[in-house]
Every structure is written in C-alpha cells, then in structure tokens.
Amino acid sequence: MGMNFIILDIGLLILFVIFISIFLYRRKKNLKKEGLLLLYKTSWGIKLINHVGNKYKKLLKVFSYVSIGLGYCLMAGMLYLFGKIVWIYIFNQDIVRAIKVPPIMPLVPYLPQIFKLDFLPPFYFIYWIIIIAIIAVVHEFAHGIFAAYNKVKIKKTGFGFFPFFLPIFLAAFVELDEKRMAKKSKFKQMAILSAGTFANILTAIFFFGVMWLFFSLAFVPSGVTFDINGIEVYTYSVVGIASISLINGIPLENATHEDLFNSISEDGLNEITAGGKKFFLTKEFLERQQNGEEYVLLYDDAPAINAGLTGAIIEINDVKINSIESLSEELLEYSPGEEVIITTIVDDEEKEYEIVLGENPQNESLPWLGIGFINQKGSGIIGNIVNVLSSFKEPNVFYKPKFEASLFIYNLLWWLALISLSVALINMLPVGIFDGGRFFYLTVLSITKSEKIAKRAFSFMTYFFLFLLLLLMVFWAFSFWG
C-alpha cells in the first residue's frame, strides 16, 4: 500500500479514538472499572445467545466433548511452544537479536513494519479493529452459548477498554452468573471455559478456507521470484578464506574471517579474488552466514549478479514466465554467449535487462543465468503455521493480483486466520488471567479431588509462567549487549 493509504489508515485511527472517547463519555454510567480495564456493560446479544444455546442442544452436547478435547490439545501445544520460545531466548541469542521484538508485545497496528518483520504481511489499523472485533465477539459469544446450554445465566455483555492510553476497543466479554457456574459439574464448567478457543479454531479454519478460495480467484501466477524476504538469491560457492588474495583490488594475505568482515564495504557488491577466480560479496550476505573460521560463501561471477538483476522475472524476450519450469525451458532455448532481454517487476514497476548468458559450470554447453532458489519453508510450530497458511502457493512464484484491492483483502484474511489460531493457543495457557488457568484448576481438582492441591497447582503455574515471562524479558534485553 502507498503512503496515501497509510495516511488514510492513521486518519481512521484518530477518528476512531475520538468517536470512542465521545461514546464512552456520554455513556459513562454504563462503565465500570475492573482491574486495569474499563468495562462497558450492555445487554446486547443476550437474546441471540440464549436462543442458540437452547435450540441446538444435541449439537452443543457433541461440541462439548470436542471443545474440551481440543482445549487439552491446545494447552499441550502452547506449553510446547512456550518451552521452545524460552529455549530460543536463553540459548540462541542470534535469533532474538535478529527478530528484535520484545517477548511481551501485543499485536498492535504497524508492528511488522516497525520491527521490519519482512516475513509477515503489513498490519494496518483497519485490519486490527476488524480482526479484534470478529475474534473477540466470536470468542465471547461461544462462552455465552455454551453457558446458556448448561443453564448458566448471562448477566451482561459488553466491551473492554484500556483507559491509560488510547481508548481503543480491546475485547468483548460475556458476564456469567459465577455462583451458578461454580455449582455446575466440572465437565460443564470446562466445556464453557474451552468454548471460546473452540470458536477461535473454527474461525481460523473458516477464514483459511475463504482465503484459499479468494486467492485462487483473485491472483494469477505471472512470474518467478528468486529472493528471500526481498534479498535476491544468486548462485554461490564455498571458498576457503585463506585463498582470498584481493578484496576490491586491495591485496590481502593469510586472510581471516575478521579481516574479511572489516575489509568489505557496507553497501553494494564487493569484488573478491580467491584462487584466481572472481567472486562477489555483500556485507548483508556475510552477516547471514555462520562465522566459520576456514570457509565463506561467495557469490559466483554470474550474468545475473553482474547485471544487478532484481525483482520477479515475468518475461524473457517477450515470452511469458509463470513458473520455475517455464523459466528453465525458455533459457534452454538459448546458448551460452547469446543475449536475452529479461523483464522483471518490482513494486508494480517493470524493468528490462539486457543480459549475455554465461556457461553453466556443470555443463559448458548449457546457458547460465546465475540465480538460485532456496526452500523458504519455516520450521517449528510458528514456521509450520505460516507454511500451512501459504500451502496453496507454489514456491518462488510471483502472483499478480487481478484487481487493486486483491492483496489488501488477502492479507486481511491471512491475519484473521493467524490471529484466530494464536488467540486460541494463548488463551489455553494454564495461567490465571486466561481461560486455560481455570481449565487447568478444574483438571487438577478432578484428578486429586482436593481443592487445596488444585489451588496450589493453579497458583504455582501462574507464578511460574510470570517468572518465565520475566526471564524472557531479561534475556531479550541481554541480546542487545551480546
């Protein structure tokens, strides 16, 4: 999106804050302070919740078992994920330093842009308010529907606001009759508690399906990319550091990794001579490598890097390219030494390159452009989630939107699916402020039959996780001095 849209988006944020401030001021009698939040209480939606909860009893009975089982699965998954995060922060400071985002950081508008998280789509205010509204309302209505099904009275519904900063809508809530809730069986209580996360998972699945369908209708494969997070991937070779004799024409003897790092310039390509052959290197490419003492990866002296080829390749001599296969097939139509005109696209602007193809190092009779393709699939739980959300895309393919708003809508659906899943996971943490805390308490109580043990386990888990969060913040701070 261009600067004009960002200005409009920020303008909407300001207007929204003004509107909410006036709204809350005029209805301040309906506001009640609980903890750090201001709660605006109303009766909106209660009739609908009671209607659904009493009409679909057979379905909700089945869903109660599914919801509780899913709750345990999400709790186990979140415990594993949290453990992995703690491990990374303590033992892999390079990753922490690269990401830069504090471990305790809510997803606020423009967060990916502020911290330059290029592997994530942009996140605007208009996304934020739409997504929060959908996820919070669905989550809390699910609690209310299961409560109505189990004959627990719903006192009020409403919205929560954080008064100390901008009065922006943060969450929805359904206020239940806690005394009647406590008298229900542990199974019924756990079904009500896990209903919100169950609804969030259904929301994630629904919007993933919508996103998949929308992408297939609104985008068309139109080129080939050879970059990772905007950085072009050229072919490279493993070179012994000691064999480097020249850096940008300056002689170097018995080079070490430190010498190499200190000798190359910050910007642009650096010409490296090693073993009588010419290579290239950028500061960024060197910084991304493991600090090996004996070897380094250097870009080959190839046609693509010499021409400064960037962007998605969409044509070769006016022949359309829409996949790696079509790119390879078209290049094989030419011989080494022949000149081709390659058209690329970057930020909706097309650019032409006149490139003389080289000789393939493995087979001198074949042409060589000198670009590379790397598997960009992530690993771990977060990486696998992102992989699933992008599973319908062919790797290294540039997809062109069919109309102007395609990318805007697709990114909104992408964030809806991701945040719905994230909220479901986080909400099942066995910590006091989340539904997972009470869910965990009831589980221990069911096993031990002792309220004393259950309360101690609940308290221990809450304080243990608070300690781990503090530990994460400490190691995050230490990463900047590493």
Q: Chain-centre distance of CA 318, in angstroms?
A: 37
In a domain, 430, yes or no: yes
The pLDDT value recorded for residue 227 is 87
Evaluated on CA atoms 347, 350, 352, 357, the torsion sign reads positive
In a domain, 396, yes or no: no
Question: Where residue 265 sits, what CATH number does that domain have?
Answer: 2.30.42.10
pLDDT digits (tens, 9 = 90+) for 21-70: 888 788 888 888 777 677 888 888 999 999 999 999 999 999 999 999 99
Q: Are residue 203 and residue 311 in the same domain, yes or no?
A: no
The pLDDT value recorded for residue 302 is 96
In a domain, 245, yes or no: yes
Query: Closest Cα partner for 421 from 200, 144, 118?
Result: 200
Q: Are residue 409 and residue 359 in the same domain, yes or no?
A: no
| 373, two tokens | 């393709």
Q: How many domains does the chain have?
A: 2
In a domain, 394, yes or no: no
Domain of residue 423, residue span: 3-219+403-481
In a domain, 389, yes or no: no
The pLDDT value recorded for residue 350 is 94
Q: Are residue 200 and residue 255 in the same domain, yes or no?
A: no
pLDDT digits (tens, 9 = 90+) for 6-24: 899 989 888 888 888 888 7
Report how far residue 305's alpha carbon sits from residue 337's, in angstroms, rounded to the nearest whole number: 16
Q: Are residue 342 and residue 360 in the same domain, yes or no?
A: yes
Q: Are residue 252 and residue 152 in the same domain, yes or no?
A: no
Q: Are residue 22 and residue 159 in the same domain, yes or no?
A: yes
The pLDDT value recorded for residue 167 is 52
Q: Are residue 423 and residue 471 in the same domain, yes or no?
A: yes
Q: Are residue 232 and residue 215 in the same domain, yes or no?
A: no
Q: Are residue 74 and residue 117 in the same domain, yes or no?
A: yes
Residue numbers in the chain where pLDDT is lower than 70: 1-2, 36, 98, 163-170, 229, 290-292, 375-386, 482
Query: Closest Cα partner for 240 from 164, 302, 294, 159?
Result: 294
Q: Are residue 363 and residue 303 in the same domain, yes or no?
A: yes
Burial 123-153 (b: 16+ CB within 10 A, else e): bbbbbbbebbeebbbbbbbbbbbbbbbbebe
Q: Are residue 470 and residue 326 in the same domain, yes or no?
A: no
In a domain, 236, yes or no: yes
The pLDDT value recorded for residue 18 is 85
Q: Are residue 23 and residue 99 in the same domain, yes or no?
A: yes
The pLDDT value recorded for residue 380 is 52
pLDDT digits (tens, 9 = 90+) for 193-211: 999 999 999 999 999 999 9
The pLDDT value recorded for residue 171 is 76
Report how far residue 210's alpha carbon sits from residue 203's, in angstroms, rounded to the nearest whole number: 10
In a domain, 79, yes or no: yes
The pLDDT value recorded for residue 103 is 80
